[in-house]
Amino acid sequence: MKQLKVSLPDDLRAQLDAASAKSGESVAEEIRRRAELSFLQEAVDKPLRDLLENVARLAAEAARETGVAWYSHAGAYEVLRLAIQLWLEPLKPKGPTAFGDRPHATTFEDDPYKLAALIVHRIRNDPNFTSSPTRKWMEEEHYSAKLNKELAERAAERRRQGLPVSALNEPWQQDEKDNEQHKSDQPKKRGKR
């Protein structure tokens, strides 16, 4: 790790000293953490950045108005929760809440409330879950289960149609064979005379 010397205005240094004392970390660690956070925020899309900034503003205003921090008083918590909900309401896109293709899904769950509860549970237990090897493994397992489910549905459909289900692992090959068989069963068309 390389060291870096930086000149800071006195007021910024005082803020860093205060933040360092509050967190129990060194000033260098405080600067490193805050620098990492700023780069993470840049990687986030603008609507989410705006939301995060405004949630911080809503929390500050709720604390000023109620006289207590949202996490220390049930009433202040409720004020902030409702303020966030009201802030989000006009931003809600129109349309159904059902999802289409979800290439990074780890579950078949499609209910927004249940998905939100699952996400909160995961992030509370592991703040780095989104980029963890566990999540990658879960994505792969879900993809495999999704393919197996599609194969089973395809096999059931073939059975309903009275078609053989001999190539479950490679259904596209069976479809090609069926198409070739269907073509050979058809009378040949003659060209124009």
Whether this model's pTM surpasses 0.85: no
Quote the tokens at residue 122: 């995961």
Whether residue 33 sits in one domain with residue 88: yes
In whole angstroms, give the CA distance from residue 15 to residue 12: 5
pLDDT for the residue 193: 47
In whole angstroms, give the CA distance from residue 84 to residue 51: 9
Residues in the chain: 193
Q: Please give the angle made by the CA atoms of 88, 89 and 90, to the nearest 5 degrees.
A: 100
Quote the tokens at residue 154: 């395809």
In whole angstroms, give the CA distance from residue 115 to residue 25: 35
Question: Is there a contact between 132 and 126 (Cβ–Cβ < 8 Å)?
Answer: yes
Domain boundary among 40, 75, 94: 94
Give the residue numbers spanning the domain of 74. Answer: 20-94
> Helix axis angle, 74-88 relative to 46-66, nearest 10°?
150
Whether residue 150 sits in one domain with residue 117: yes
Domain boundary among 37, 59, 94: 94
pLDDT for the residue 176: 53
Whether residue 87 sits in one domain with residue 102: no
Whether residue 12 lies inside any domain: the answer is: no
Question: Is there a contact between 107 and 121 (Cβ–Cβ < 8 Å)?
Answer: no
Whether residue 2 lies inside any domain: the answer is: no
pLDDT for the residue 3: 85
pLDDT for the residue 188: 56
Domain boundary among 73, 94, 115: 94
Strand residue runs (E) in the chain: none
Q: Taking the chain (193 residues) in consecutive chunks of 10 residues, what is each chunk's mean pLDDT?
A: 87 91 90 84 81 93 96 97 95 90 92 93 91 93 92 90 70 51 52 51
